[in-house]
Structure 1
Amino acid sequence: MAKVNVGLDAELVVEVMVLAGIGSPQDAVEAVMRDYIARGHRTETRTGFKDRNLREIDAKPQEPQG
């Protein structure tokens, strides 16, 4: 897997480490990133069918009004 180096505010990283209970700055930030991505996938799963139905309704041609 490719690696990326990102500069972050030390206070921010320490806060993440304390909240997550993780001793390594890299592991703490990685855990937050993985959680954020997983939460996004769960949200997509819950709302995906609704969004898909709305897109199908919007895609259908509408009859002229008036």
Structure 2
Amino acid sequence: MAKVTITLDSDLAIEVMLLAGTKSPQDAVELIVRDYLERSHRTEARTGNATDQERLADRRSAPEEGR
């Protein structure tokens, strides 16, 4: 896998390390990014993805009945 170098503000790196519970900023950022991606995939599985918006657009524009 290719590696990428990213520079972060030291306060941000320390905060990420504390949140992730790691001693290495690289490990902390990797864990948080992986968690973010997993959550995104779980959310898409539950709510659908961007292509579903076209299907749902018709429902939103239709007037609600019973009010």
Aligned residues: 57
Query: Taking structure 1 as reference, are residues 55 and 21 closer, same or farther at Cα in structure 2, changes over 3 Å only?
Result: same
**Aligned equivalent of 1:55:** 54
TM superposition shift of 1:56: 3.5
RMSD, aligned α-carbons: 2.2
1:32: how far off? 0.5
The structure richer in helix per residue is 1
Structure 1 residue 55, shift from structure 2 partner: 2.4
- Please name the residue that 1:7 is paired with: 7
CA distance in 1 between counterparts of 2:36 and 2:56 reads: 30
**d(CA) in 2 for partners of 1:57 and 1:43?**
17
Show structure 1 runs of 5+ residues with no match: 60-66
Gap change, CA 1:57 and 1:48, over 3 Å in 2: closer
> Which residue is 2:33 aligned to?
33
Q: Distance in 2 between matches of 1:14 and 1:58?
A: 43
Runs of at least 5 residues in structure 2 that lack an aligned partner in the other structure? 59-67
In percent, how many aligned pairs have the same letter?
Answer: 54
Instruction: Measure the CA separation in 1 of the matches of 2:36 and 2:57.
Output: 30
